[in-house]
Structure formats: C-alpha cells, structure tokens
Structure 1
Amino acid sequence: MALRLDRSLRHYFLGFVPKTSPIRSSKVSAHNPMWPSVESHKLIMEVKEKLKRDHPSLRVGKNGRDDEEMIFWFLKDRKFSVDDALKKLTIAIKWREEFGISELSEESVRSIAETGKAYVHDFLDVDDRPVLIVLASKHFPAMHDPVENEKLCVFLIEKALSKLPDGKEQILGIFDLQGFGSENADLKFLKFLINVFYYYYPKRLGEVLFVDAPFVFQPLWQLVKPLIKSYASLVRFCSADTVRKEYFTEATVPVRFKED
C-alpha cells in the first residue's frame, strides 16, 4: 500500500530540503531533526523488513541489510521508491561482501598505494569535504595490476567517507592531470570507477575537478562523458591556481598545488 507523504517529505521532493541534509546519526528516530520525517522512517522500516524477508542471507550490521542509515541514503538516491531502493541496496550489499571491503586495510593496499597515484588529503576543503586526490600521471595500466588498482580505489573511497564531518555527506574528487599522457589512459578503470560511484556509493561525490587537463586527455573524456550522463555536471575543468584559491586555504592546500 502506498504511504501518504507528509509535508516534510513533500518538501524534500520539491527541493526545499537541502540535498546536504545531515544523516550521520546511526539510529533513526522520529525525534531526530536530522532525518526528513516520520513518514520516511516508515519507508526505511518497509525496506528493512523486505530485505530481511527476501534476502535473509545478506549480512547485517554496518552497511548490511539492517543498517538504517544506509537504507535511508539509498531511499534518498532513488527518490524514496521502495522497490528501486531495494534493488540497488541488494546489489550494493552483495558487492561489498564479494569485493571483500571488510578485509581492505592500509597494509593490504600498501604496495599499490606506494606508487603515489592516489591518496586521501590530510585536510578538508573549504566546504568541509574530505578530498580524494588522483595523480593521473602515476597511473600505468600496462604495469599495475588492475585488481590492486580497484582495491586501492575502494579503500580510499571508504577512507574519505570515514572522514566526513557531522552534517556532511559528500567528498571532493580531484584528478590532477598535469603530465597526463596516452600511457596513463585507462578506460576500463574509469568504467569501474563510474560503476562504483553510481551503484555502491551513490551521490557521495559532490564535485570532481579535472586539473590542468592536456589536449591528449580530451579524446578519453569524450568517451567517458556519455557513460556518466547527468553526472557530467559534477565535473569541472580548472587550473591548479583555481584549486589553490577556491577550494583550500593557504594552510590546507595540497602540496601539489602550492605556488612555487
């Protein structure tokens, strides 16, 4: 039976509730103002019960079928459609299990991380977002194990999300394209990255910066852009100077983008 949407939830659909409404509480409560409404709590319970009934083998606990914060996030992503959220959640929870996310650690990705191709910045940006930085010129698909690349990617996403301050929901991705050459192009990995953020970490990327993109990068972007569809609006091509002046303070700017 369809549930009637109360005023708070109608406001969400109409855009009056900001997309960055905090959801960091680990427990759903009708008395918690950080959640949109009591009605959405009913939807969370509906998803939770259906997952328990139809997919009892799915793990429980953090990022499991009974994780109400995760359920709420996927409901938001699917515009509060229970069926759509169920489908996407089931895929995401199974993927986390199969990928072995709980087994990822600093030690398990150390060898590929030592290439310096990607890392989580020590400081937040000016909008209090954790920052994931990729140095494209250090990525060599012909030399690096693609599975290890994927593990590093997911580990760093998890690490960035763990640094989210209360009330913040999204991270900033920076692709430093200084020195990028054809030997660094990797369409297969980019497709993996797109799928990861669409299916398993929906709407966690607040913005993506392509910094100092050389001409040789353009053909790759033309191949990737149709794949990400509306998410292309998250991408901003900019200079290192823009990164330095608009996204960080003098004290927090990544060393890569500091003035000489």
Structure 2
Amino acid sequence: MATAVADTQLPAPPKEVVAVQEKLEASGPLKVPLASPTSDSHPPARATLTTDQQEKYDWLLAQVQGWTEIPSTKGKAGPLTDSEKFWLTKDCLLRYLRATKWHKESAEKRLLDTLTWRREYGVEELTADHISPENETGKQILLGFDKEGRPCHYLNPGRQNTNPSPRQVQHLVFMVERVIDLMPAQQESLSLMINFQSTANRSNTTPGMGLAREVLHILQNHYPERLGKALIIHTPWFVRAFFKLITPFIDPHTREKLKFNEDMNQYVPSEQLWTEFNGKLEFEYDHASYWPALQALCHEKREARLKLWTAGGQQIGELEDYLAGHVPVGVAGVKPAEEKALPSEPLAVPAPPAKDTPEVAKPVEAKLEDLKLEEAKPEVKPEVVSKPAQETVTTA
C-alpha cells in the first residue's frame, strides 16, 4: 500500500495579490478569474510509491523515452513534438498508471492513444477566437479554488446559447485545458460545479445522450485522474433521470465523487464560492472582460512552466511541482541558475492558425499588465498572477 506523506499547505499568495483582489471585490462584482487559492487551502496528501509501483513507473518512462513515432490513421503520425514531451510529465505517467490500476502495458497503450487523439482532434490548435462564441453567455466559467486548491470549473447548462455541434465538445476540451493551466503546485485535479437551474429561455438543460457519451469518453480516456469532485445543484427529475441513464458509462470511482444538492461551502471557501452556489463571491459574467483576462492568465502560467521546462533540460517525465515553481530543481537536478549548457529560449506556445486569429489572438498573447483596471474594474493586473476496448479504469 502507498503511504501518505504529511498534509501540506499551499503557499500564501503575495500581499500585493491580496490587496488587488480586495480592491476588485470592493469595486463591485468580480468579472475576471481568480489567480490563486486561499492561503488556508490544503492540497491532498501526496502518496509515496511502493517498490513495485516505482518499478512500473521506471518501465513506463523508459518505454515513453524510446518512442520514435506517434501513430495516426489520419496523416498525423510522426515523432514526439516538444509540446508533447512537455505534456509527458512524471505526474502524467503516474495518472495513467493509476487509471489502469498499475497495469503498465495498458498505461502505455492509453498514453499513445491519448497522444494520437490530441493530434487528430487538434487540441493544441483550438483557439480562443474559435471557442469564444460558445462562451458568450458564460455557460462555462473558471472561477476560484476549492479547499484543496482545485480550480473550480462551473458548468451552467441554463445559459446554453448554441445548438449541438462539434464545437460544443471542443468548448469543453478547451476549457479543461485552461483549468489545467490554472492548477497550482501540488494539485492535479479540478472541482466540477454544475448548476442545472433552468432559465426563461431554456427549460430543459439536459444534454443529448450522444453528446454526453462523447464527452464522457473523452474525459475518461484522455483526462484520467483529473476529476476531484463534482458538485451539482438544482437537479430536477429529468436531470436525475439523465444521470441514471449515463451511470452505466461512469466509472464507479468517479461516481463516488458526485455530490448532489449539498452545502457547497463545506468544499469551497465561501469567499471563493460563487453566490449562485450560496457562496459569498459576487461575480458577474461579462464576456468582454472575462474572456481575454482568462486567456492572458492561462498564457502567462503556461509560459512560466515552459520556461522552467527548458531550463530543466526539456525532460520527458519532468516534475509538475518543479514546473509550477514549488520545488527548485527538476528530475535532471538542474537549477534555473545553472542553465548555461541548456537552450536559452523557452519552448514557444503553439501559435494558432493565422486565419483563425484576427482579433482574439492578440488578447490571448497579451500580458496581464495590458488589461486596465480602471476601464473594467475587476480586470486582472500582473500582481494577480502567481509568477513563477474495454479496460478497467478509473477516471479521476
């Protein structure tokens, strides 16, 4: 059995961050995402690997390091790219091992399947400009962190503004990728917050079975071990019936994480819990303020991780806590101050296609200091950002 190490506490955000956030809250409803968990949020205890688990991890790492080509039947085959090597962290490999109950060959197969899917689906090519119309009403919001430091991902089906289409699924994939960008050190999962309350325009907010099954397939197969909790409110009879229908497709380990109509303040600090979930955080979705602020925040966090990955030698199997700035050295034992023999330029974030980025690409690449607090009172300033086939599987 793995033994748990002592529970740790997330570092307190800088005083400047607290001051700016307090200023934003005092000026009216928040309109941008929060950058950090509360100072008293505790990540779950890490588990040490048993000798057997360490041997299986070492085997999987050696296999991944020896890959010469990612397979594809859609013309996307080829060697590992730098961004894929960056994605293949030690923690990523361990997530796939846990998801396959430490069956090392199954973990390798699923990793390859996911890399093939990421290429063929175009995960890295999804742009904020392409996804923006789906989120104009705020039907997905990344806002705050729970008591274990998990980013909160709100789903608001009652704000649905588009008809079923492939872009609706792309929207969810895009937002899950942004949640991962926002994850602090020592945390690798999210809290899914679902509000099924209907609106005057939408009385039935239940997604169709086809769409639901596609989403479940993607989340279970390509984002394993990412769900920490799912907190669900306002569940009318047809929503409960819907969950009964999809229950056979949900892994038992995942079902244990579903919480219906509970007091969500017991899971999320009240000051970071949206008032729609009976918290104290006054938040108003304004797409013009929120969307560019979210992209800039995520871009800055990705760039910081990419810079550290380059400084550490661009290792497959790098530590996510190193990339988040929580530990000073990575798997190669190289400190950023010892970079002389390493590439001086960080890996660039893949640029979106030119035809898809005439307007929104600029805010995505913008620094947070370009967002003016005076013009949109809750806009984020730079201080708000923390610098730095059937297998037995579990999904979160």
Task: Give TM-score scaled by structure 2 length.
Answer: 0.52
What secondary structure does 2:64 align onto? helix
Question: Is 2:105 the partner of 1:83?
Answer: yes
Offset from partner CA, 1:66-99 (integer Å, 9 cap, x none): 8243333322322332210111111100111111
Instruction: Tell me, in whole angstroms, the C-alpha distance in 1 between the residues paired with 2:279 and 2:186.
Output: 32
* 1:172-196 per-position Cα deviation (integer Å, ceiling 9, x unaligned): 0011111274364322222122112
2:120 corresponds in structure 1 to 98
Equivalent position of 2:196 in the other structure: 177
Task: Name 1:196's counterpart in structure 2.
Answer: 218
Q: 1:68 to 1:139 in 2, by over 3 A?
A: same
Report the counterpart of residue 154 of structure 2 in structure 1: 133
2:181 aligns with 162
Instruction: Name the larger-Rg structure.
Output: 2
C-alpha distance in 2, partners of 1:220/1:164?
Answer: 30
Q: Distance in 2 between matches of 1:92 and 1:71?
A: 12
Contact 1:58–1:93 (CA under 8 A) maintained in structure 2:
no
Q: Does 1:67 align with 2:92?
A: no
1:229–1:195 distance in 2 versus 1, CA, 3 Å = same
Give the distance between the partners of 2:237 and 2:189, measured in 1 at CA. 30
Pairing 1:253–2:273 present: yes
| C-alpha distance in 2 between matches for 1:58 and 1:223 | 41
Residue 261 (structure 2) aligns with = 238
User: 8 Å contact 1:58–1:64 — kept in the other structure?
Assistant: no
More displaced, 247-256 or 94-103? 247-256
Any gaps of 5 or more consecutive residues in structure 1? 1-13, 22-32
- The residue that corresponds to 1:3 in the other structure is none
Contact 2:69/2:79, CA 8 A, preserved across alignment: no
Give per-residue Cα distances to partners, 1:142-173, cap 9 Å, x unaligned: x4242111111001101111111111111000
Distance across 2 between alignment mates of 1:34 and 1:58:
33
Q: How far apart in 2 are the matches of 1:100 and 1:54? A: 14
CA deviation vs aligned residue, 1:8-53 (integer Å, no higher than 9, x gap) = xxxxxx24347x99xxxxxxxxxxx997375355223332145337
Deviations 1:187-229 (A, max 9, x none): 2222122112211000100111121211221221111111113
| Cα displacement (A) at 1:137 | 1.4
Cα root mean square deviation, aligned: 2.9
- Equivalent position to 2:3, from 1, 16, 22: 16
Q: CA deviation at 1:126?
A: 1.6
- CA displacement 1:232-256 (0-9 Å, x = unmatched): 22211114xx12x213333211142
Partner of 2:234: 212
Aligned residues of 1:48 and 1:68 also touching (Cα < 8 A):
no
Counterpart secondary structure, 1:207: strand
The answer to whether the 8 A contact 1:47-1:82 is kept is no
SS at match of 2:67: helix
Q: Which residue is equivalent to 2:60?
A: 44
Change (3 A) 1:117 1:66: closer
* Larger RCO (CA under 8 A, 6+ residues apart): 2
* Alpha-carbon separation, structure 2, partners of 1:64 and 1:120: 27
8 Å CA contact 1:119–1:132 kept in 2: the answer is yes
For the 8 Å contact 1:51–1:65, the answer to whether it is kept is no
What are structure 2's unaligned runs of at least 5 residues?
A: 9-45, 72-76, 281-396
Equivalent residue for 1:111, pick from 109, 112, 133: 133
Whole-angstrom distance in 2 between the partners of 1:162 and 1:93: 18
